Amino acid sequence: MLAIAQPIAAGQVITDNDVRTVNVGASAELGLVASIDESKVVGHVAAMPLVPGTLLTAQMVGTADFPPVGQAVVGVALKAGTFPPRLEVGDRVNVWPGPSEAAVSTTTAPAAPLAAGAVVTSIGATDSLGTSVVTLLVDDQSAPKVSQATSVSVIEVAPSPAGQP
């Protein structure tokens, strides 16, 4: 079967280097892509963000149907020290006002994050100033607050239990 070898953004063309062959015993009902069918996915686009280790299914390839209804993707520039050093695609985070936002606002801490339960969809390379551009999947009501903030910090949180937001 095929598994994801490195992070792939929604809409990104899948290459040979993005997938790897793994041996698993699985039911045909799962819809996993067999390694002999690699040509059916390589050269096609990812329909959603894919994280390493994920077993590839046919539904993950095709027209990018992303972001889902009610969600938005926002990009944030994160400076060193405003995010966990081991942040990875797929991590769930809360987005808080960053140091420059806090200095402009009141001396009390905000009551709620700008976005709760955001999911990291991509992480860009760190520039010479130590800033990384990170894209996040957030609910569409939080997107304007996050995108209009002059700086943000992210805190990694545990995944929600199954069936809960």
Last residue of a domain, one of 60, 92, 109: 60
- Residue 124 in domain: yes
The CATH number linked to 44 is: 3.90.1210
* Same domain flag for 153 and 122: yes
In angstroms, the CA 153 to CA 104 distance is 15
* Same domain flag for 51 and 106: no
- Residue 146 in domain: yes
- Residue 131 in domain: yes
* Same domain flag for 33 and 108: no
Q: How many domains does the chain have?
A: 2
Q: For residue 58, what are its two tokens?
A: 């046919």
Quickly list DSSP for the chain. Answer: -EEE-S-B-TTPBP-GGGEEE------GGG-BPPGGGGGGTTTSBBSS-B-TTPBPBGGGBSS---SPTTEEEEEEEEETTSS-TT--TT-EEEEEE-HHHHHHS-SSPPSS-SEEEEEEEEEEEE-TTSEEEEEEEEETTTHHHHHH-S-EEEEEEPPPPTT--
* Same domain flag for 91 and 27: no
- Residue 120 in domain: yes
- Residue 34 in domain: yes
Instruction: Flag whether the pTM goes above 0.75.
Output: no
* Same domain flag for 98 and 55: no
The boundaries of the domain holding residue 75 are 71-157
- Residue 48 in domain: yes
Task: Tell me the pLDDT of the chain (165 aa) as tens digits.
Answer: 999 999 988 888 999 999 999 998 877 778 899 999 999 899 999 888 888 999 999 889 988 778 888 999 999 999 989 999 899 888 999 999 987 655 555 556 667 899 999 999 888 888 998 899 999 999 999 999 999 999 999 999 987 655 445
* Same domain flag for 130 and 99: yes
